[in-house]
Each structure stands twice: as structure tokens, then as C-alpha cells.
Structure 1
Amino acid sequence: MPHARVDLHSTYRDRLPQLSEALLAGMVKGFDMPATDLFHIFRLHEKGELVFGTAYPEPNREDIIFIEILASIGYASTAKKHEALVAIADEIEKIGIPRDNLLLHVIEVPAGDWYSPGFAGVA
């Protein structure tokens, strides 16, 4: 039951539905998770609130979108997590946002640290 927290500039406000669809498509493809497992949080920021290097790792970054995927420890292997992050970047690139503007990572928490009715979160 991974969910995503996304920090991005407010200029993307009108594109949130597209971003959500692309993010979900990448997560479904990469993690082999059900498409109904949809939990996204978008936090919009004004210019100057997201600080980033334009030349790391390549001098192509014009903007930044931080994408944090929260998942249970062991939800996916290292290879599967990498596959999911690449799939997310691929899907977002399809809607016209350069992959150079993305910074994605997975944060893992113990299964017992989750709770949602119908999902105990305990292994």
C-alpha cells in the first residue's frame, strides 16, 4: 500500500490530475500494485520555497518535483523499487515534464507502523 507525497511549484496546479494519473500508472507498472491503491498528497510551493541545484547530476534541471514514495519495509526488492521509480519517471515524461526535473525516492517503514481500516499493516 505505498502512497506518494509530491512537492512541486504551484505553477503545476492545473496539471495535478495528469500528474496523479502518471504517478499511479508508473507505480502500478513498476510495483505491480493494483490501480485502486491510489493515495497521493500534493504540496504546492511558491517560487523560492523549493531549493535545488540546477547542475546536479546533469546541467539540465530547470525546475524540481520531489516525489517521495512511502512503503512498508520489504514491499519491494531494491531492483523492483528502481523499476518503479524509472516507470514513474517514464510516465511523467509522457505528459511533457522532463525527467531531469524529477527527484524520486522510496522511504520504507515497518509494516506495523501503518494503519487503515481494512488493512491492519501488521505482517
Structure 2
Amino acid sequence: MPLIQVDLERSLYDAEHERISAAIHQAQIDALGIPANDLFQVFRPHDPGELKFDPTFGDVDRRSLVVIRIVMVHLYSVATKQSLYRAVVEQLGAIGIRAEDVLIGVSENAFEDWYAGRP
């Protein structure tokens, strides 16, 4: 049950949040094999100037920033996580979000660190 948090510009949220949500979710289904009903996302839109980033860090040409934080159980191999990153970027690219503008961070924990509605 990955928990997804997305920070992005308010204008992008207003225009595309449903498509962004679907894209990220489909990437998880494709790369992680999660069930289709395993959907837990929090969107945090930001006004101009609230997202601070260096447009050239790591020799990347950033024009905007979409931060995707994923909290999930330590269950997946490095290759699987890299597959997830590629799937997210590909899915978002299909709706016009540049790969260079995406930042993904994963935090992992154990099964006992979750409560999802029942013990």
C-alpha cells in the first residue's frame, strides 16, 4: 500500500490533477503490481514561489518541479523501484510533464509501521 504525496504548482494541479493521479497510479500498477484499488494519494498544490529548486542541479534543465514522495513497505528490489521511476516519468510525459521536472523520493518501512483501517 504505497502512500503517494505530490507537491506541484497550483496551476498544474488545477489543470491536470486527475490525469496526474491516474498516471502515477497506473505506473504503480505496472511497475509494482499493486491492486487497482490500492489508491492512496495526497496532493499539495502550491502558489507561485512556494516551490524552491535549483533549475540546473545535477546538470538537469528544470523549468518546474513536481515532487512525488512515496512511502511504502521495504519489499521491492532496486530494479523494481527503478522501473517504477521510469513508469512514472513515462506516464507523466504522456500528459506533458517533462521528466526533468519530476523529483521522486521513496521512504521505506515495515508492515508493522502501517495501519489501514483495521488491525
1:116 is aligned to 2:116: yes
Offset, 1:54? 0.4
Offset, 1:8? 0.5
> Which whole-Å CA distance do the structure 2 matches of 1:97 and 1:83 have between them?
18
SS in 2 for 1:115: coil
Q: What pairs up with 1:1-123 in 2 under 5 angstroms? A: 1-12=1-12, 13-73=14-74, 75-118=75-118, 120=119
> Which whole-Å CA distance do the structure 2 matches of 1:28 and 1:108 have between them?
18
SS in 2 for 1:6: strand
SS in 2 for 1:4: strand
> Which whole-Å CA distance do the structure 2 matches of 1:58 and 1:36 have between them?
38
Structure 1 residues not aligned, in runs of 5+: none
**Change in CA separation of 1:51 and 1:113 when aligned onto 2, cut-off 3 Å:** same
Q: Which amino acid aligns with 2:78?
A: T
Q: Which amino acid aligns with 2:28?
A: M
Using the size of structure 1 for normalisation, the TM-score is 0.90
Give deviations 1:88-115, integer Å, cap 9, x for gaps.
1110001111111000121112221100
Using the size of structure 2 for normalisation, the TM-score is 0.93
The ranges of structure 1 where at least 4 consecutive aligned residues each deviate by more than 3 angstroms after the TM superposition are none
> Which whole-Å CA distance do the structure 2 matches of 1:26 and 1:58 have between them?
26
On the 8 A contact 1:67/1:103 being kept in 2, the answer is yes
Structure 2 residues not aligned, in runs of 5+: none
SS in 1 for 2:57: coil
Task: State which drifts further: 88-97 or 105-114.
Answer: 105-114
> Which whole-Å CA distance do the structure 1 matches of 2:58 and 2:86 have between them?
16
Query: How much identity, in percent, do the aligned residues show?
Result: 30
> Which whole-Å CA distance do the structure 2 matches of 1:5 and 1:70 have between them?
8
RMSD: 1.2
Q: How many residues align?
A: 118
> Which whole-Å CA distance do the structure 2 matches of 1:20 and 1:39 have between them?
10
